[in-house]
Structure 1
Amino acid sequence: MDGQVTRTILVAGTASHVGKSTVVAGLCRHLADRGFDVAPYKAQNMSNNARAVPKAKATRAPEGGGNAFGEIGISQYVQAHAARIHPTTDHNPVLLKPHAEGSSQLIVDGDAVATLAAGEYYSDYWEHALEAAKRAHERLVADHEVIVAEGAGSVGEPNLRDRDLANVETARFADADVVLVADIERGGAFASVVGTLELAPEDVTNRVAGVVISKFRGDREILEPAIDELEERTGVPVLGVLPYDDPGLPEEDSVSLPAVGERAVIGDDDGVPDDRTVRIGVPRLPRASNMTDLEPLAREPGVRVVYLPLDASLDDVDALVLSGTKNTVDDLLALREAGMVAEIDDFEGPIVGLCGGYQQLGERILNADLEGTGGESEVEGIGRLPVETRFSTDKQVEPVERTLAPTAALGGATGTVSGYEIHMGQTELGQKTAAPTDEVDRPIGPTSVSVGTVLGTYLHGLFENELARRGFLEAAFDAAGRRPPEVDDHDAGVSDPYDAAAALVATNLDLSPLNLSSAARTSREGTRS
């Protein structure tokens, strides 16, 4: 880049869920708006919320062979859009997708490599992952002026010090400036900053350019004595205090959802009375994935997305969504054991099964031992759709655009919808109790089936399409015997979440210690007392 020295800023944390993803997205949009050519990066992510994106050119098979698309964590997908660039697998070269108890599927440069336990990953694959992460960063450095990297969990974990790819190794091979984020809502933010700086490797703490206190509710002046003492004790400036103000970015993973045995209602009532609302039930699967599929529904006025324990009744919900899952078979068995399968079998409202939920709604799953932990080769499905799924080791990963044909589950909506598919296994019409062919439709192309008010599809992101979302909600309101609330231009006052994140950063943080106006890098020796 004509001699320009690319800067890397690593946004690390004192713990998980302190707000790193929001800070990275905000920095990406803020810097892009200031004229920087910026890109996000996360060397290693652990999340079951993934997106299909083009592979980096250097990682594609020669002469067009293999799959041109791969998986990255949704946060890096979001952050790339915040930076006003197209996401690729280089933005998240290593992705771990929790699969079953104690094991995860390893994705490197967008491709599924293996499913393994943590010990196997560190003993057999970590060096490979490290090299892939370094190469991806090098390619981003060649094309951009600033890389905003996101850490994972805490940067001060002694047991991970020699294998911390997302934090310690990234800081080192990227020669990064570090911004340390601490969540004050949970309490102990200042102690966690001091402890993290003491426990992290010295060469990493010497890179810390500043601290961000996140999720603060109240008067900032109350914090001033603690901020002064923290800066005096550590020699690290506090760049600012972020108020508790969610810009509306998608959640990185399903940890933010209620626990499997808990019930929670998500959605802003916007003053809509209860007799003008609908409740969308979502069984809280143990291994739920891509739960961002539900977020567009929860943002609609008059809609409550209800995450249900698996032993809950469906009597008080008006429509049902079966989400994606990283383990279709084990979650299906969990549904059956808890009694939810019987509830779904009797449910008369509209039902949409997304990806793994689609597979579960079918008659049976073949080669189930390739995914489930019980060793059974065939598992009976819920039986609401006349299809069967056969698992294989091949994985489908691609963005798609489909023509939506009328289906009762989506209120008869028609038009063009787009999204992405990430799944293992093929689903076809079954041979056991298949409905008459004149009752079976494929409303969203070949990887979908609908019968009556039940729809199954592999299309993630379905409800991000307004026509599909509004059609499904129309069907839900009809099933509830209610009319949707009359809300005029309810989206008009909703800010773009990327711009909202950028405003959060620009308004509340002093970025001058990062010296972004110059590519020159000052010595870090002796920066801490």
Structure 2
Amino acid sequence: MARTILVAGTASHVGKSTVAAGLCRLLADRDVEVAPYKAQNMSNNARAVGDPDGTTGEIGVSQYVQARAARVPATTDHNPVLLKPRGDGESQLVLQGEAVAHYSAGEYYADHWDDALAAARESHARLAADHDVIVAEGAGSIAEPNLRDRDLANVETARFSNADILLVADIERGGVFASLVGTIELMPDDLREQVAGAVITKFRGDRSLLAPGIAAFEERTGVPTLGVLPYDDPGLPEEDSVSLPSVGERAVHGGDDGVPDDRAVTVAVPRLPRASNMTDLEPLAREPGVRVGYLPLDASLETADAVVLPGTKNTVDDLRALREAGFGAALSAFNGPVVGLCGGYQLLGERITNAGVESTDDLDSLAGFGLLPVETRFEADKQVEPVTREFRGVGPLSGAAGAVTGYEIHMGRTRLVGKAARPFPGDDGRDPDGAATDRVLGTYLHGLFENRGPREAFVETVFAAVDRDRPSGNGNGTAPGTTGPAPGSIDAAADRAAALLTEYVDLSPFDP
């Protein structure tokens, strides 16, 4: 039976994903057969993966990243239960990679939680049979009394796997020792003995200043503090949109590249209420001289040099929200490069039909923004698959060519209703996975900008459109003559996370 290490937290966004990915890479580099696992995840940042039996499904992006860190192919067993919020208090339930239906929280816990628990146990058992160690990631806080009898990612996982628990707490929030002590006090009695140690994350300053607090914590709880991680972002993709601004707020990512803002370009991204797979934008934000601005729906595009419409869990309702905010008029008046990804591709089309499939309203047809001559019809079935395709640079990605990899997760079928270029030459002309005009491109391919060719072609187009020299630098690409993972890549981020753990955390309690 494989040993399970549960990376649990005192709260959400304390660094669990980074610690889990670092552990996966460390163990893999020591030739340990390791697999990631998260029994239940709630996120609209998902990845399509292939299972050994030839089927495909979707999992949370963090488990995809952790599988890469563990140097194993990602499968749906790594995240057997995925909840994808769609608004109005509902989430789509995905069990072992397959979308089931949309449920409210009450419906899920009353009628489907037992199925979720069974799926989580089955997936863990399969992983345990094939690996030496499972690195499980918890969700939120492990000490929520109101959720104790239905906490699949934390309490149930710790129990059915008999996991060694590594407790993670974020000092940047303040009150780190109170949160650690309170978490242990509120944990179920039977799990306290499973806590092997604690790690404090996001610390800035002299670690010796924490000594009195650490001593008091250890004396009170008997739990050793295994390390203090400095404030350092390895560059792993975000698990969810918690790091993005709320609707109505503005934020800009990028800018730590030494390029003055007056020499940079800004890629505007509307902060959709139901945005999904926002990790698509992270490779652009890491390019020298590129600022990715997440804007309120009613923001002006006058300072934007390009626009990217991201994916959305509910294209229909986000389209209506954009129109109500006046974004359609702003986009029509914008003359720079525009790219739509997945749901963003659908938004750029002439219309959406059978729209009631995605909305609670009885809708038939809804006009899109009309920048691409395509029409999307929604059906109940869902397209989920990892893909590798030949890409032909057209429109704002002119100059790129060659094989690209990514994934598709979408409902709806899109067809041409006019003349357009196709970025994937093998597409059926009536049912394309992408379409383009001279300055607008839409595609169902998530992960497009993780591919160096399309990413650099788009950045070159944006700089050329504003008649500005592009700063030197390779962005996410590998510099000529170098070896190892490309800077900014998942593998480089996993190596960095592992290096942080190696330097700052005593992992001897978890030695195989």
Q: Specify if TM > 0.5.
A: yes
The equivalent of 2:213 in structure 1 is 226
- Judging changes above 3 Å, is the alpha-carbon distance between structure 1 residues 269 and 11 closer, same or farther for their aligned structure 2 residues? closer
For structure 1, list consecutive stretches of 5 or more residues without a partner in the other structure: 61-67, 518-529
Q: Identify which of 160, 169, 184 aligns with 1:173.
A: 160
SS in 2 for 1:142: helix
For 1:372-451, list aligned pairs within 5 A.
372-430=359-417, 434=418, 437=419, 440-444=420-424, 445=427, 446-451=432-437
Find the counterpart in structure 2 of residue 147 from structure 1: 134
Partner in structure 2 of residue 212 of structure 1: 199
**Corresponding position of 1:31:** 27
TM-score, L = length of structure 2: 0.95
Q: Are the equivalent residues in 1 in contact too, given 2:287–2:474 (CA < 8 A)?
A: no
1:161 corresponds in structure 2 to 148
The aligned counterpart of 1:465 is: 451
Shift of 1:350: 0.8
Cα 1:443–1:28, aligned 2, differ >3 Å: closer, same or farther?
A: same
Answer yes or no: is 1:454 the counterpart of 2:434.
no
Q: Which residue of 2 aligns with 1:127?
A: 114
Q: Is the 8 A contact 2:287 2:475 kept in 1?
A: no
Residue 497 of structure 1 aligns to a residue whose secondary structure is helix
| Distance change in 2, residues 1:89/1:489 (3 Å) | closer
Tell me whether 1:256 sits opposite 2:255 in the alignment.
no
Partners of 1:418 and 1:465 within 8 A in 2 = yes
- 2:475 equivalent to 1:479: no
Cα displacement string for residues 119-172 of structure 1 (whole angstroms, at most 9, x for unaligned residues): 000011100010000000000000000000000000000110000000000000
**One-letter amino acid of the counterpart of residue 466, structure 2:** A
Give the Cα–Cα distance (whole angstroms) in 1 for the partners of residues 116 and 359 of structure 2.
26
> Over residues 5-29 of structure 1, what are the superposed CA-to-partner deviations in whole Å (9 max), with x where a residue is unaligned?
4100000000000000000000000
Indicate the SS of the match to 2:150: coil
How many angstroms does 1:257 deviate by?
0.6
Report the CA distance between 1:513 and its aligned residue.
2.5
Alignment partner, residue 54 of structure 1: 50
1:362 counterpart = 2:349: yes
Question: For the Cα contact (< 8 Å) 1:9–1:148, is it kept in 2?
Answer: yes
Counterpart of 2:102 in structure 1: which amino acid? T
SS at match of 2:149: coil
AA in 2 matched with 1:465: N
| Matched residue, 1:301 | 288
Cross-structure match for 1:350: 337
Return the alpha-carbon distance in structure 2 between the equivalents of residues 322 and 298 of structure 1. Answer: 15
Distance 2:128 2:329 in 1: 54
- Give deviations 1:34-71, integer Å, cap 9, x for gaps: 221110000000010000101354xx7xxxxxxx1100
Distance 1:171 1:302, change over 3 A: same
User: AA paired with 2:195?
Assistant: V
Give the Cα separation in 1 of the matches to 2:399 and 2:337.
Answer: 12
- What letter matches 1:157 in structure 2? E
Counterpart CA distance in 1 for 2:262 and 2:158 is 54
Deviation at 1:94, TM superposition (A): 0.4
Q: Give, as a single letter, the amino acid of the residue that structure 2 aligns with 1:109.
A: Q
Give the distance between the partners of 2:244 and 2:256, measured in 1 at CA.
19
Structure 2 partner of 1:509: 505
Which amino acid is 2:6 matched to?
Answer: L
Which moves more between the two structures, 78-87 or 489-498?
Answer: 489-498
Partner AA of 1:441 in structure 2: A
Question: What's the counterpart of residue 483 of structure 2?
Answer: none
Please say if residues 408 and 475 of structure 1, whose CA atoms lie closer than 8 Å, have aligned partners that are also in contact. Answer: no
Q: Distance in 2 between matches of 1:295 and 1:508?
A: 27
Shift of residue 273, structure 1, vs aligned partner: 2.8
Read off the aligned partner of 2:165 and give its amino acid letter: V
Query: Residue 235 of structure 1 aligns with which residue?
Result: 222
The residue aligned with 1:522 is none
Q: For residue 372 of structure 2, what is the amino acid of its counterpart?
A: L
Say which SS state the counterpart of residue 35 (structure 2) adopts: strand
Q: Aligned partner of 1:40: which letter?
A: P
Partner Cα distance (2:257, 2:498) in 1: 25
Q: Provide the residue aligned with 2:309 in structure 1.
A: 322
Give the equivalent residue in structure 2 for 1:498. 494
Residue type of the alignment partner of 2:346: Q
1: CA distance, partners of 2:487 / 2:421 = 36
- Check conservation: 1:269, 1:302, Cα contact below 8 A: no
SS in 2 for 1:204: helix
Query: 2-side partners of 1:99 and 1:85: how far apart?
Result: 31
Tell me if the contact between 2:393 and 2:454 (Cα under 8 Å) persists in the aligned partners: no
Is the 2:475–2:487 contact (alpha carbons within 8 Å) kept by the matching residues of 1? no
User: Partner letter of residue 242 of structure 1?
Assistant: L
Q: What is the rounded CA distance, in whole Å, between the counterparts of 1:404 and 1:184 in structure 2?
A: 45
Identity %: 67
State how far apart, in whole Å, the 1-side matches of 2:34 and 2:313 are.
32
Counterpart CA distance in 1 for 2:369 and 2:192 is 53
* Separation in structure 1 between the aligned mates of residue 89 and residue 273 of structure 2, nearest angstrom: 13
Q: What is the CA–CA distance in structure 1 between the aligned matches of 2:183 and 2:264, rounded to whole Å?
A: 46
Secondary structure at 1:162 match in 2? helix
For residue 412 of structure 1, report the CA deviation from its aligned partner: 3.0
Matched residue, 2:482: none
For residue 274 of structure 1, report the CA deviation from its aligned partner.
3.2
Q: Deviations over 1:214-262 (max 9, x none)?
A: 1111110000000000000001111111111111100001111111111
Compared with structure 1, are the counterparts of its residues 488 and 335 closer, same or farther at alpha carbon in structure 2 (3 Å cutoff)?
closer
| The 10-residue stretch of structure 1 (388-397 or 409-418) with the greater mean CA deviation from structure 2 | 409-418
One of 45, 52, 61 as aligned partner of 2:41:
45
- 1:339 maps to amino acid: G
Q: 22-31 vs 340-349, which deviates more?
A: 340-349
CA distance in 1, matches of 2:221, 2:98: 42
Deviation at 1:208, TM superposition (A): 0.5
Deviation at 1:488, TM superposition (A): 7.0
Distance 1:449 1:283, change over 3 A: same
Unaligned runs of 5+ in 2: 480-485
Using the TM superposition, give the Cα deviation of residue 489 of structure 1 relative to its aligned residue in structure 2, in angstroms.
Answer: 8.3
8 A Cα contact 2:6 2:163, kept in partner: yes
Q: List per-residue Cα deviations over 1:62-97 (Å, max 9, x = no partner).
A: xxxxxx110000000000010111110000000000
Aligned partner of 1:63 in structure 2 is none
Distance in 1 between the 2:364 and 2:195 partners? Answer: 52
- Give distance in 2, aligned partners of 1:450 and 1:181: 46
Deviation at 1:269, TM superposition (A): 4.2
